[in-house]
Amino acid sequence: MREIVEGIHMWSRLAQPQNYNFNGHWVAHPGGNLVIDPVEPEDEELERLVAMGVAHIVLTNRNHSRAANRVRERTGAQVLMHPADAGHAREQGTQIDGDLAVNQRIGPFQVLDASGKSPGEVALFWPERSLLLVGDAIISDPPGKCRLLPEAKLDDPAALRASVKRLYETVDFDSLLVGDGEPILTGAKARVGYLVVSFSGTR
């Protein structure tokens, strides 16, 4: 686990066969610390999460439950997810305690619509720090380059492209933290812009 920007720690697990990292994030906040999309922690990492404290576990989509149950059990945190994705996660055994709604605030973040890969996919925006955190809406792989998941893994490819385009056009971000791949800590909006340009001519 390492601090990638002030107050945000990340831990990672190499995913196979994708050959890039899946990432979990811990975010310090006076109103209650957050964990986002927690990948399976090593025992030492889990003990650090317990020691640092977690009020809420935020899941950005139905496939990022990951180690949420284990972290919830050890920390007592509440697990939150958009209701459009929560049913699928519950079917997979994830304990969900509450809903996320688009435009609500959770900790320092505003919850934004990022649907398309799944109907309840969300992104998290920290306006004061020009920081955007995404789950599966954008993959940063290879490092420094943004792309989408293969279309076969998307519920609605056109809707996802529209969501990413909307995020690019309406959100003022410089840093991009990702659930899959490598974070882009500066100049991220331009990188997402290249991705949006690549959508030209697709439906």
pLDDT in tens, 118-157: 999 999 999 999 999 999 999 999 999 999 999 999 999 9
pTM value is 0.97
Residue 201 pLDDT grade (very low, low, confident, very high; cuts 50, 70, 90):
confident
pLDDT in tens, 65-84: 999 999 999 999 999 999 99
Looking at residue 163, its pLDDT comes to 98
Instruction: Go through the domains of the chain in sequence order and give each one's CATH number.
Output: 2-198 (3.60.15.10)
- Mapped onto helix, strand or coil, the DSSP state of residue 195 is helix
Helix ranges (H only) for 66-109 are 68-75, 83-91
**Cβ-count burial 68-99 (b if 16+ within 10 Å, e if not):** beebbeebebbbbbbebbbebbeeeebebeee
